Amino acid sequence: MNTRVFASSILCSLMSFSAYAQPASTSTSDLAKKLTNPVASLISVPFQYNYDANIGLDKKGTSNTLLVQPVIPLKLNNNWNYIVRPIVTFESLNNVNGFSGTGTGPIVVETFFSPNSASNGFIWGVGPIVSTPSLSGSNFGTSQTGVGLTAVGLVMKSPWTAGLLAYNTWSAGGSSVSGTANNLFYQPFVSIVTPGAWTYSLNTQSTFNWDTRRAENPLNATVSKLVKIGEVPVSFLVGARYYLSSVPGGPSGWGARASVTFLFPK
């Protein structure tokens, strides 16, 4: 599906949903704090843009990506939630080893069983994860299916949030020509939220491939502001990223990030 058509259809759905959604009376600062928790009982729909450069063996390529990654909490009972986080990546490549084009990468679905209450301020979640082969061919990711386990643990002590999200996937079949699904992903993160609903965050989103024994380590520094448009809370984010290390042919140096996140408190 064309990227613009897909994004437009999601935005239309969000506008329709916001017409009848009745958000809880919660301050923007409180909502900004919840947004730093990956397993919060909060429906959110982020649209994240990333720009990366110096891609390809000749380091002349660039990449523009759009990640659509809704967070859907499902209440199992009074004690447990089940959090579903699908991630769809649309990517536009320019002159990467002579290739230019637009396509869709693998779809990743993270899930977490998470208790409703924190124990001594510690919040956690664990569950299965699955990743599909790239939907647009080998230029946009592995052709293998991956299955595995994901987990998150964090501590929220106002105004700070600090934690680690990680998962490991193993190949469940498919060609390994364009890379394998045997990956360890780890994302340490720290955020501080001000009373004015400004959030300052630092994280890495590192991927280590068990077959190549190489890791890609982008460091992201971002600032975001949560506001209300009508009755719908929306978070706007901008930031920079720098690759501490990369895989052969992968991006290096500086990049950029921006996102808009729609929140739908219950």
Q: CATH code at 199?
A: 2.40.160.40
Residue 21: the pLDDT is 40
Measure Cα distances from 53 to 66, 93, 252 in Å. 15, 10, 6
Residue 17: the pLDDT is 42
pLDDT per position in the chain (266 positions), as tens?
444 444 455 445 444 444 334 344 469 999 999 999 999 999 999 999 999 999 999 999 999 999 999 999 999 999 999 999 999 999 999 999 999 999 999 999 999 999 988 777 899 999 999 999 999 999 999 999 999 999 999 999 989 999 999 999 999 999 999 999 999 999 999 999 999 999 999 999 999 999 999 999 999 999 999 999 999 999 999 999 999 999 999 999 999 999 999 999 87
Domain span including residue 175: 3-264
pTM: 0.88
Residue 265: the pLDDT is 87
Greatest pairwise CA separation for the chain in angstroms: 55
Measure Cα distances from 88 to 65, 155, 167, 228 in Å. 10, 28, 17, 26
**Residue 148, exposed/middle/buried by CB under 10 A (0-12, 13-18, 19+)?**
buried
Amino acid occupying residue 130:
V
Residue 25: the pLDDT is 42
DSSP-derived secondary structure for 61-82 = EEEEEEEE--BEEEE-SSSEEE
Amino acid occupying residue 49:
Y
As for how many domains the chain has, the answer is 1
